[in-house]
Amino acid sequence: MNPALGYQYGESCCTYNGERLGDCQFYASKNRLRIEWSDGLVESYELVSQSALTIKTYADKRGGLWEYSMGAQGNQFLYNKKNGNAIFKPLRGCVD
């Protein structure tokens, strides 16, 4: 049996502002979020508010506010409304 066309699992990856930049892992605790990038960069965020289980606002160490959301299929998205920066982690990886 073959999977449906267009339904593929890609290699683990992340995008920053729509560009694929290696991989990253999201680690969440009660009041913090940490993102570890495959190139060694680590960014930490403090929880500011939470409007639902999967919708949260975090602050970075430079004072930027980031909106975090997790989609129904497990995709993770972090968006800074002020400067438009966005980090996206698809659960099933990227398919080129």
Q: Which sequence spans correspond to the domains of the chain?
A: 15-88
Residues 25-67 pLDDT 10s: 999 998 999 999 999 999 999 999 999 888 999 999 999 999 9
- Residue 84 CA from chain centroid, whole number: 14
67-78 pLDDT, tens digit each: 999 988 889 999
